[in-house]
Amino acid sequence: MNMAEGLIFDIKRYAIHDGPGIRTTVFFKGCPLSCWWCHNPEGQSFSPELMVWPDRCLKCRTCISACPNSAISISNSSIVTERGKCEVCGVCTAKCSANAREIVGKIVSAEEVMAEVEKDREFYGESGGLTASGGEPLAQPVFLHVLLNRCKETGIHTTVDTSGYMERKTLAKISSKVDLFLYDLKMMDPKKHKLHTGVSNKPIIENLKMLDKLGKQIIIRFPLIPSVNSTKANISTMCELVSGLRNIRRISVLPYRQLGVDKAKRLGKGVRIFAKPSDRMLDQSLRLIKSYGFAVNVGG
């Protein structure tokens, strides 16, 4: 990859939940976190991956003979892929007429991405524009910076949807090109955070304070997951932290929806399934957040 190239897994046009107005959302591939509840598990790995849809498969066996690594076989009338042998070459995906196999993730240039973003410029108005999401867009800081720069040069609003986990210096540099951060706060207890996401929440909290000091516009995103971060103590601690900052007035609550479960299975990854929050739990959480004076909404 050269400086102005990045690895992405999707571009979604006419997005209305990824920041203000109508947006084009670019999903960066690769994330330093490995959240147990991730709704975009195809965004975790920093490499392209093979995704398989068994329900679309016609059992024609074309992929078995096509695979140069003998990674595919049939067992109990099902097509089985040995992930350890698969080199993600894409030969089987090209041969499969049922679209039951797909390589997720491709390297794209900033020009290609901007061509997509520019297509909907007339719909953006004052508020809409580009949202960088993922995965973790800040994990590809050079590519992200190039895209944000191009947007700013051409007057397109920029939003970055982030876990906040990155080197402080790099974030500070990129922040000058970001109009709005959608900033995840998952849980306040450092040990629980490390257990459930694989990383410490210390740099995430320090980076949030830094962005606030810089006067950046920030909306907190709180994924509500029963038995993980739904306690009154966790939500109160989060609200107290954010109340101590100067510029943050809104918290978006994202109720866990099991959206990543099927995708993780198609990637051959282990899956953890949590209960969805009940209406009562969601209502109590929203009321608790509001009691701290925040504007609160569900989703987006």
Q: Is the distance from CB of 52 to CB of 37 less than 8 angstroms?
A: no
CA–centroid distance for 294 within its chain = 24
* Residue number, 82 or 167, with CB nearest to ligand SF4: 82
* Residue number, 12 or 95, with CB nearest to ligand SF4: 95
CB of 83 to ligand SF4, least distance (A): 8
* Residue number, 57 or 261, with CB nearest to ligand SF4: 57
Which residue in the set 7, 8, 31, 79 belongs to the binding site for ligand SF4 (CB under 6 A)?
79
Which residue in the set 4, 11, 39, 69 belongs to the binding site for ligand SF4 (CB under 6 A)?
69
* Cα distance between the two ends of the chain: 32
Could you tell me which stretch among 81-89, 105-113, 117-125, 221-229 binds ligand SF4 (CB under 6 A)? 81-89
Does 263 bind ligand SF4 (CB under 6 A)? Our answer is no
Does 267 bind ligand SF4 (CB under 6 A)? Our answer is no
Does 101 bind ligand SF4 (CB under 6 A)? Our answer is yes
Collapsing DSSP to helix, strand or coil, 129 comes out as: strand
Burial of 217 (0-12, 13-18, 19+ CB in 10 A): middle
* Residue number, 102 or 118, with CB nearest to ligand SF4: 102
Could you tell me which stretch among 67-75, 143-151, 193-201, 271-279 binds ligand SF4 (CB under 6 A)? 67-75
* Residue number, 107 or 254, with CB nearest to ligand SF4: 107
Q: Residue 275 is encoded by which pair of tokens?
A: 């209960």
Does 71 bind ligand SF4 (CB under 6 A)? Our answer is yes
Which residue in the set 26, 33, 38, 96 belongs to the binding site for ligand SF4 (CB under 6 A)?
96
CA–centroid distance for 24 within its chain = 14
CB of 139 to ligand SF4, least distance (A): 24
Q: Determine the longest span between alpha carbons in the chain, in angstroms.
A: 62
* Residue number, 88 or 261, with CB nearest to ligand SF4: 88
Q: Residue 251 is encoded by which pair of tokens?
A: 């918290």
Type of residue at 63: C
* Residue number, 92 or 151, with CB nearest to ligand SF4: 92
Q: Residue 93 is encoded by which pair of tokens?
A: 């995906």
Does 60 bind ligand SF4 (CB under 6 A)? Our answer is yes
Q: Within the chain, how many helices (H) and strands (E) appear? A: 11, 13
Backbone angles phi, psi at 23, to 5 degrees: -135, 160
CB of 70 to ligand SF4, least distance (A): 8
Cβ-based neighbours of 286, under 8 Å, separated by 6 or more: 253, 296, 298
Integer angstrom CA distances of residue 290 from 7, 216, 236, 243: 38, 22, 11, 11
Does 61 bind ligand SF4 (CB under 6 A)? Our answer is yes
- Please state whether beta strands 23-28 and 180-184 pair in parallel, antiparallel, or not at all (unpaired): unpaired
CB of 256 to ligand SF4, least distance (A): 31
- Which residues contact ligand SF4 by CB under 6 A? 50, 57-63, 66-67, 69, 71-72, 79, 81, 86-92, 95-96, 98, 100-101
